[in-house]
Amino acid sequence: MNVLHFFKTYYPDSYGGVENLIFQLAENGLKQGVQSEVLSLSSNGCARNQRVNNHLVHRSNLDFYLASTGFSYSVFSDFRELADNADIIHYHFPWPFMDVVHFVNRIKKPTVVTYHSDIVKQKYLYFFYKPLMYFFLKSVDRVIATSSNYLNTSCVLKNIKKKVDVIPVGIDDHAAIPASNLLKLKWQQTITSPFFLFIGSFRYYKGLHILLESMKGVDLPVVLVGIGSLEKELKIQAQQLNLKNIYFLGALPDEDKCALLELCLSVVFPSHLRSEAFGITLVEGAMYGKPLISSEIGTGTTYINVDHETGLVVPPSNPTALKAAMLTLWNNPVLAFQLGRNARVRYEKLFTVDRMVKQYAHIYYSLLS
């Protein structure tokens, strides 16, 4: 079976949660007899038949970018040619331009959409896009939500609930690179006590300003791994709050991130807006058996992290509650261990890549049959 994945960005131009999901499906789908190819846009120009690990990647030229949406003239013909050779077309939502490409090419093949997130930021443009969006979602065969939480709290998904399946995002346990003792020793010498760990992009919905605010007066050790447009602003905030225990480490290789995941006390994930639809870092923390801290925003974050089972859940945008949760784990190592052990059990039950791939493959084959 041949599946064509279509999204606005992909490896090696861009690395993110959607790209990682596509990569996992493409690589691990081979075990289920699913051969995948990926088409995306790129500012580096057109390219065909480039190999990323064991699957082919194609790029159409990105002509311009408007309101977080990439546009391309050449993608219409590129998509038509690749779709002709595919058995299943797998779209990744949201990307409004994708809907246009779908209709212009009058796709008649079986279609699947992974619904990664509601459109949150572009509220005014969403008003005009909404009719096209519903026309697109109602035209495809199946829609996949990444958590039952998101299905139950998304007005869009509720309107098409009969065609929605829930498949949580899975990650490969074998991808966790065992950190060398030398590397762990390096980080233990740099960060000399147990610490809270955040991994992710410094984006507006990640709630990192709330995390820094919560450390006022306690200044627990917090390690921030990632980069983004808010980095300078966050460093200024940390200075103004006179925080001495915040470590901005920037982007790190996977080996270092794995070492930090092994060493940390807890993974803290303060995202406070629905733009955070899932939270793959929480799954990584659970995979390493770490207690989790997240906010209740009605998305996948609290599908991964169950309050007082795998970690602690606090109200969004509440520095006082976030501080209290962090102090609870800091002062109760036995509780932290128990929550972390439960998180690992939940990972093995719901968030392995094999489970995710088998569920997608089942949907693919059911559409063909």
pLDDT digits (tens, 9 = 90+) for 230-263: 999 999 999 999 999 999 999 998 899 999 999 9
Q: Contact, 295 vs 271, CB < 8 A? A: yes
pLDDT for position 150? 95
| 120 and 41, same domain (yes or no) | yes
The predicted structure's pLDDT at residue 168: 97
For 297-312, what is each residue's pLDDT tens digit? 999 999 999 999 999 9
* Statement to judge: residues 159 and 54 lie in one domain: yes
Tell me: do 155 and 181 sit in the same domain.
no
Burial class (CB in 10 A: 0-12, 13-18, 19+), 95: buried
Helix (H, G, I), strand (E, B) or coil at 31: helix
- Are residues 126 and 212 located together in one domain of the fold? no
Same domain, 268 and 283: yes
Domain identity same for 200 and 121:
no
Q: Are residues 112 and 240 in the same domain?
A: no
pLDDT at 355 over 90: yes
**Number of domains making up the chain:** 2
Residue 175 above 60 pLDDT? no
Range of the domain at 294: 173-350
Do 140 and 246 lie in one domain? The reply is: no
| Residue pointed to by tokens 């270092």 | 256
pTM value is 0.89
Q: Do 288 and 144 share a structural domain?
A: no
Q: Are 180 and 307 members of one domain?
A: yes
Computed over every residue of the chain, the mean pLDDT equals 94
On the question of pLDDT at 124 being above 80, the answer is no
Instruction: Name the residue type at position 145.
Output: A
- Secondary structure (DSSP) of 166-196: E----B-GGGSPPPPHHHHHHHHHHS-S--E
Which CATH number characterizes residue 318's domain?
Answer: 3.40.50.2000
Asked if residue 356 and residue 346 are part of one domain, the reply reads: no
State what percent of residues in the chain have pLDDT above 90: 85
Q: Which residue has the tokens 């807890």?
A: 266
Percent pLDDT > 70 in the chain is: 99
Q: Taking 70 as the threshold, does the pLDDT of residue 174 lie above it?
A: no
Report the pLDDT averaged over residues 274-296.
95
**Are 38 and 160 found together in one domain?**
yes
What digits encode the pLDDT tens for the residues 187-215? 999 998 899 999 998 999 999 999 999 99
**What is the model's pLDDT at position 182?**
92
